[in-house]
């Protein structure tokens, strides 16, 4: 069975060399290892990310989404998994939600429609959600110590079971809205 196509060399403008490689679309890149749980760690929860503009659509549609590069990571979500929504505009973590479906791709392609590509979602790695328990949002200084950080302030969106349990406990302590 043949492997991937080899790069082709061509000539442009009659004298300068250039390489033509197989189309590599950045939307289909997978996550670096720092952003995923180690293989031997069980997925205990997941954090989705929004801003003030996308949060209302997330809640109204009962659908959370992330960019395409999270596709494989989101596909590991099973119904009942605890979910959280981080608003990076307000720096608050909202919860407690849970997966109402398996994670997938383009569950609703009209959600967060890409204005440049009609009929395509900007956040196609999606999962249906429902509220497990309404709680006051957590301020960043209270939940950040629980998360696995990489590259400065960035944190991993996949949660281990102990991380998820600790977040659930923080929400319980924080009380209803």
The closest alpha carbon to 27, from 117, 128, 155, 153, belongs to 117
Give domain status of residue 102, yes or no.
yes
How many CB atoms are closer than 10 A to CB 126?
Answer: 27
* CATH number assigned to the domain comprising residue 153: 3.10.590.10
Higher-confidence residue of 39 and 165: namely: 165
Q: Could you tell me if residue 1 is inside a domain?
A: no
Residue 93 in domain: yes
Residue 18 falls inside a structural domain: no
Q: How many domains does the chain have?
A: 1
CA-wise closest residue to 126 among 144, 139, 112, 108: 108
Q: Is residue 97 part of a domain?
A: yes
Q: pLDDT digits over 103-154, tens only?
A: 999 999 999 988 888 778 999 999 999 999 999 999 999 998 888 766 666 7
Q: What is the pLDDT of residues 2-26, one digit of tens each?
A: 444 443 333 333 443 333 333 334 4
Omega before 96 within 30 of 0, i.e. cis: yes
The reply to whether 135 falls in a domain is yes
Cβ atoms 96, 133 nearer than 8 A: yes
For 124-138, what is each residue's pLDDT tens digit?
999 999 999 999 999
In a domain, 168, yes or no: yes
| Containing structural domain, residue 53 | 27-174
> Does residue 4 fall inside a structural domain?
no
pLDDT value at 51 more than 90: yes
Burial 93-110 (b: 16+ CB within 10 A, else e): bbbbbbbbbebeebbeee
């Amino acid at each position: 069975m043949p492997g991937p196509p080899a790069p082709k060399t061509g000539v442009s403008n009659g004298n300068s060399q250039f390489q033509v490689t197989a189309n590599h679309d950045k939307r289909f890149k997978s996550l670096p290892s720092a952003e995923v749980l180690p293989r031997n760690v069980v997925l205990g929860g997941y954090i989705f990310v929004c801003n003030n503009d996308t949060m209302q659509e997330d809640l109204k549609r009962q659908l959370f989404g992330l960019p395409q590069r999270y596709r494989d990571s989101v596909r590991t979500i099973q119904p009942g998994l605890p979910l959280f929504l981080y608003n990076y505009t307000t720096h608050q973590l909202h919860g407690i939600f849970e997966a109402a479906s398996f994670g997938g791709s383009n569950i609703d392609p009209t959600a967060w429609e890409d204005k440049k590509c009609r009929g395509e979602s900007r956040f196609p790695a999606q999962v249906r959600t429902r509220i497990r328990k309404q709680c006051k949002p957590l301020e960043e200084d209270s939940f950040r110590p629980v998360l696995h950080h990489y590259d400065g302030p960035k944190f991993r969106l996949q949660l281990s079971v102990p991380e998820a349990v600790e977040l659930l406990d923080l929400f319980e302590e924080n009380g209803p809205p």
